[in-house]
Amino acid sequence: MTNKVKKVAVLMGGSSFERAFSLKSGKRIYEALEEGGYKVLALDTTKELVPTLRSERPDVAFIALHGKHGEDGTIQSLLEFVGIPYVGSNAHTCRSTWNKDSLHTTMAAYRAAQGSEAIASWPQGICIARDAFKSMGAASALDLVSERVFGGFPVAVKPTHGGSALGVHRVDCQEDLGAAILDALSYDDSVVIEQWIEGCEMAVSIMGTGEDANVVGIVEICPKSGIFDTAARMDANAVEYYAPVRDSSLGKTPEQIAHAKALIEAAALEVYRAYDMHDYGRIDLIWDGNAPRVLETATVPGMTETSLFPAAVKASGMSMAQVLDTLVQNARLTPWGTN
């Protein structure tokens, strides 16, 4: 380590539903940075956070805060206000990616501005607010879902905001729809109901910013039973991960495999750039055999022992120490406070 960055604050914990994930990610980042020679402050995001940051004056903050307050732009806007550089996308980007219903409008605006060819696609769906169910009788119209969501059942039901698959369900029939919606709304104030896409689930990890962004790797996700839900993500024995993705999951011939991989990487990079994600991130998608179907983004990827970004890093031949060092050093050069 030759640059001037010496002190890094790792921000973790918080009060969201994803606190447990955050603490695990933060611990791994903290330990790796310490091994790399940094002075590291492990800070829970309590009321003492700002006084501690102002007194300690870290050179850089590394956000390991998942879910609400970590990925919705809250901590980013706070750090911009206090004037501390940090790793990752800025507050504006995080506010956009936090909303899973923003993908269509974000991509349309990006393509119009760039005049670029459409690459990524995504499931068609609807977004309904909790108050529509609570105060306006939306629950009496659930029979319309099979008409409003292209293809009908099965459908995916998930909170509009959030991560770690909390409140995410596959629903195969109308009779099970109400319970899934209620559970999703226990995590958020609105719900997305969209096409269920069959295929191979993948996570594309990316580093860099803008046109300098590059794919680190593609991780294939194969739950041993059910779907890739919160319980599966926390259980190292519940899912088989393939990093890199298996050729057999992409095609039968070298030409098909190369074409599929190129499409998947191009779609992920298109979404990453459309949202103006910075430094690093992850795009989650389904390869349906013909096209990559984007599900959502992660501006603060998990860093636990079962997380996807570290798996992609390992498969690429890099070490987490190298990656974290690069991210921390680059963060110091980014004048977030002037954005």
Separation of alpha carbons 132 and 185, rounded Å: 11
Examine the domain organization and report whether 149 and 231 are in the same domain: no
Residues in the chain, total: 339
Task: Of 140, 261, 275, give the one whose Cα is nearest residue 202.
Answer: 261
166 is written with which tokens?
A: 């909390």
- 44 located within any domain: no
Check residue 258 and give its pLDDT. Answer: 97
Examine the domain organization and report whether 167 and 244 are in the same domain: no
Examine the domain organization and report whether 204 and 229 are in the same domain: yes
Domains in the chain, number: 2
Examine the domain organization and report whether 282 and 314 are in the same domain: yes
- 146 located within any domain: yes
Check residue 153 and give its pLDDT. Answer: 95
Per-residue pLDDT of the chain (339 residues; tens, 9 = 90+): 445 779 999 999 988 888 988 999 999 999 999 998 999 999 999 999 999 999 999 999 999 999 889 999 999 999 999 999 999 999 999 999 999 999 999 999 999 999 878 899 999 999 999 999 999 999 999 999 999 998 899 999 999 998 878 899 999 999 999 999 999 999 999 999 999 999 999 999 999 999 999 999 999 999 998 888 777 777 778 889 999 999 999 999 999 999 999 999 999 999 999 999 999 999 999 999 999 999 999 999 999 888 999 999 999 999 999 999 999 998 864 444 444
Check residue 278 and give its pLDDT. Answer: 95
Examine the domain organization and report whether 171 and 260 are in the same domain: no
The 10 Å CB-count burial string (b at 16+, else e) for 151-161 is eebbbbbbbbb
Examine the domain organization and report whether 146 and 237 are in the same domain: no
Examine the domain organization and report whether 259 and 305 are in the same domain: yes
Examine the domain organization and report whether 261 and 224 are in the same domain: yes
Check residue 4 and give its pLDDT. Answer: 72
- 37 located within any domain: no
318 is written with which tokens?
A: 């890099």
- 260 located within any domain: yes
Examine the domain organization and report whether 178 and 281 are in the same domain: no
**What is the model's pTM?**
0.93
Task: Using only the alpha carbons of the chain, give its radius of gyration.
Answer: 20
- 225 located within any domain: yes
132 lies in which domain range? 125-195
Of the residues 140, 165, 195, the one at which a domain ends: 195
- Of the CA atoms within 13 Å of residue 70, those in its CB half-sphere come to 34
Separation of alpha carbons 47 and 52, rounded Å: 9
Of the residues 195, 227, 248, the one at which a domain ends: 195
Check residue 236 and give its pLDDT. Answer: 75
- 261 located within any domain: yes
For residue 244, is the peptide bond before it cis, meaning its omega torsion is within 30 degrees of 0? yes
Burial class (CB in 10 A: 0-12, 13-18, 19+), 314: middle
- 332 located within any domain: no
Q: Which residues contact 325 (CB under 8 A, 6 or more apart)?
A: 1, 36
